[in-house]
Amino acid sequence: MPPEVSGAVSIAGVPWVTVVLLLSCGWLLVAAGGVHTGLGLPALLLYGAKATPLILDRGETWRLFAANFLHKDPLHLAFNAFAIWNVGGALERAVRPADYLAVIIFTALGTTLMSAVGSDSISLGASGIAFGVLGASASFGWRRGVRGPLRSYFGLRIVPWLLALFAAGVGSAGVDNWGHAGGLVAGVLLGFFLTPRTWPGEAAARRLAAAAGAVLGTLALGLIAAPSLPALGPPREGPASMEIKVPLGWRKAGAAADRASYSNGLTGGFRSSATLLQATPCRGHACDCDRTVRAAVEDDLWRLADVGHFKQLRLEPQKDGQLRGVLEGDEGQAQLGAICRRRAESPVALVVLQPLRGSATLASRMAGTITWPGK
């Protein structure tokens, strides 16, 4: 490549975008209260950790970005900050700020999208961005033929370090390797298009505009889709040869001869669950939906709400035949929706427990998918 291109790369100056990025991560850790004792799961979910059920159930696509800035404790932040400062800071000074911002945005989105597709675990942290800037620095340096002392920052020389860090994550428990892979792939691909800071900036401006569009599009998608969520997945097994569709990403939370329960796997005020119940044969008042649902909830279904010990249940019949109410425990409340169907001489009840202000249509949509032999 022409020598003037190689000489156009410089890392002089202050990496202000990197400084702001790391300060933002530190501020969020302080605001969440994780400096002294670290953050527990409820706080992580509250402040934006990636939780696939919340993205699919509520349309909280803002978590695809927020999760990259949230850290569990200062040590977690320190590890990620070390890589981002040393490698990302050099990359920021070598390219235009618009290009570097585009790298941060696309690697953040790539990290959490890949994590959401490949893993249903809760994840957070800027490690995906760290892998992204490593990958971008490698492909940028190789593509632009960086020579001299700067080869320690850009190009193929950093690939062994990058691979060693990735392999360390693969061999460690609790590491979101899907997220690391997503950030790395996004960074490598974008790095091929980066240009030195001294080159004309029109292309960098277009890349930043594309990144801003990705942010706005992602957030808008969540807002538009939210009213129709949670999205239902394929039929799942219920009791007594029944089948029902439950929201995508939910897992089996319990089963017995007369019932099957599914949950989004989260805790506290983020827990949602659904139970399909085949009651025993009955006649008269014993077949009332109110009695059937109340007996099941007071017996043991209250435990699925994760609101502490059961205190009381308030139920009200609705015009559409659905029961709605509030389950109260000593640690919180949950919204309840229930619908009953008749199967021979026995009622079939669907009981849905959600956080307060959860989906008002979930129980009815799920009830419409219940099938059994002959129905």
For the chain, the domains span 3-227, 231-367
**β-pair partners for 251:** 263
- CATH number, domain 3-227: 1.20.1540.10
Q: How far apart are CA 311 and CA 325, in angstroms?
A: 14
Residue 89: the pLDDT is 94
Count the neighbouring beta carbons within 10 Å of the beta carbon of residue 12.
Answer: 7
In this prediction, residue 286 carries a pLDDT of 60
Q: What is the pLDDT of residue 285?
A: 63
In angstroms, the CA 85 to CA 66 distance is 19
pLDDT of residue 4: 44
CB-based contacts of 324, cutoff 8 Å, min separation 6:
315, 316, 318, 335, 336, 337, 338
Task: State the number of CA atoms in the 13 A half-sphere of 278 facing the CB.
Answer: 20
In angstroms, how far apart are the furthest CA atoms of the chain? 91
Residue 137's pLDDT is: 95
Question: Number of C-alpha atoms within 13 angstroms, CB side, residue 270?
Answer: 25
Please state which architecture CATH assigns to domain 231-367.
Answer: Sandwich (2.60)
Give how far Cα 109 sits from Cα of 67, 89, 96, 105, 183, Å.
10, 20, 20, 6, 8
Q: What is the pLDDT along the chain (375 residues), one digit of tens a residue?
A: 444 445 578 888 899 999 999 999 999 999 999 888 889 988 999 999 999 999 999 999 999 999 999 999 999 999 999 999 999 999 999 999 999 999 999 999 999 999 998 888 899 999 999 999 999 999 999 999 888 888 888 999 889 989 998 998 887 878 899 999 999 999 999 999 999 998 888 999 999 999 999 999 999 999 999 988 999 999 999 999 999 999 988 999 999 999 999 999 999 889 999 999 998 887 766 678 899 999 999 999 999 999 999 999 999 998 878 999 999 999 999 999 999 998 877 889 999 999 998 999 999 999 999 999 987
- Where are the extended beta strands (E) located within the chain? 232-237, 243-247, 251-256, 259-263, 273-278, 310-317, 323-329, 332-343, 346-354
How many Cβ atoms sit within 10 Å of the Cβ of residue 359? 22
